Amino acid sequence: MAAVSSVFRRGLFNGRVAVVTGGGTGIGQAIALELMYLGCSVVVASRKIERLESAAKDMRSRISQQLSLAEGTGSNKHAPDLSVVKCNIREEKEVQRLVSSTVEKYGRLDFFVNNAGGQFLSPAANISHKGWTAVIDTNLTGTFLCCREAYKQWMQENGGAIVNIIADMYKGFPSMSHTGAARAGVDNLTKSLAIEWADSGVRVNALAPGSAIYSDTAAANYGDIDLFSHVKESHPTKRLGRVEEISGAVCFLLSPAASFVSGETLYVDGAGRLYQRMWEIPEHNKSKAYTWEEDSKEGSSNSHTTTSKL
């Protein structure tokens, strides 16, 4: 059984409750596991309920084994609970139900991690209207709906912390322009909400994983098992990121260590955004320089008549 651990102190999140969207796979699963390891009850939510339930079964045994080992006993009064909820974040009513059922079941909602999301690789010129809308609705509108419902149904009165997982769109996102636009929208939304909801004691932050956090499900989405190894070659660390390297940073943002951090976007990318080239531009001569010499040639569209000169 794969280990679960954390650099944070045991019991840090005892009695707390979190929703993690997309919490049955990859990064979201690591976030859910680390939160549980630290004592937080977690609701994981996504569309594919069978995969989610099977993941939850595995996660429960990993955590219960880990907690028993750590306590040296088979029982733990702070044992965290894990629930699953089928929810497509693109559907407003499903999001409303996700939040209301969580508050009903646990009587609170301390943390909301907007991790669900995704996209496909495509040059912008080939993205259909439907494909564009699917990606914007998932990553931007879905995240907005989740934030709004968490706030209206619980955090407005009781405070809380939200982390929005986005992506590295620091230099735009050629080859995934739809997700770049959606994630930039969430980056900005994060700042607006951090201000609008500050007087409720709600902190809102974003976290941008570098484009190289390996999980089987993330890789499967692209149908190219080698895609992530290509990224590795051009990464400053010469390795891929691990899902645990994202979950630890999320736990930091949710924890009291970040009580003065809000409206921030934390890049967890091993400096990849500063170094990587995301798009090869072939040799070409289509970029015409502007020169005064050309500009003042007679007949040039920009040439000025002597009378118009000072």
**Shortest reach from residue 286's CB to ligand NDP, in Å:** 32
Contact by Cβ (8 Å): 209, 306? no
Point out which residues bind ligand 8Z2 (CB under 6 A): 118-120, 122, 128, 130-131, 134-135, 138, 167, 175, 211, 218, 221, 227, 231, 278
Q: Which option in ligand NDP, ligand 8Z2, none does residue 25 bind, with CB closer than 5 to 8 A by kind?
A: ligand NDP
- Local structure of 69: helix, strand or coil: helix
Question: Taking CB positions, which residue lies at the least distance from ligand 8Z2?
Answer: 118
- The two three-digit tokens of residue 201, written as one number: 């004691």
Query: First and final CA of the chain: distance in angstroms?
Result: 81
Q: Which option in ligand NDP, ligand 8Z2, none does residue 120 bind, with CB closer than 5 to 8 A by kind?
A: ligand 8Z2
**Shortest reach from residue 126's CB to ligand 8Z2, in Å:** 7
71 vs 245, beta carbon nearer ligand 8Z2: 245
Q: Which option in ligand NDP, ligand 8Z2, none does residue 46 bind, with CB closer than 5 to 8 A by kind?
A: ligand NDP
Q: Which option in ligand NDP, ligand 8Z2, none does residue 175 bind, with CB closer than 5 to 8 A by kind?
A: ligand 8Z2
User: For strand 111-114 and strand 82-86, is the pairing parallel, antiparallel, or unpaired?
Assistant: unpaired
Task: Choose among 285, 290, 289: nearest CA to 302.
Answer: 290
Point out which residues bind ligand NDP (CB under 6 A): 21-22, 24-28, 46-48, 51-52, 87-90, 115-118, 138, 142, 165, 167, 209, 211-213, 215, 217-218, 221
- The two three-digit tokens of residue 197, written as one number: 């909801």
- Local structure of 45: helix, strand or coil: strand
153 vs 247, beta carbon nearer ligand NDP: 247
Question: Taking CB positions, which residue lies at the least distance from ligand NDP?
Answer: 26
Number of Cβ within 10 Å of residue 63's Cβ equals 21
197 class by beta-carbon count within 10 Å (0-12 exposed, 13-18 middle, 19+ buried)? buried
175 vs 255, beta carbon nearer ligand 8Z2: 175
Task: Annotate 210-231 with b (16+ C-beta within 10 A) or e (fewer).
Answer: bbbbbbebbbeeeeeeeebeeb
**Shortest reach from residue 73's CB to ligand 8Z2, in Å:** 38
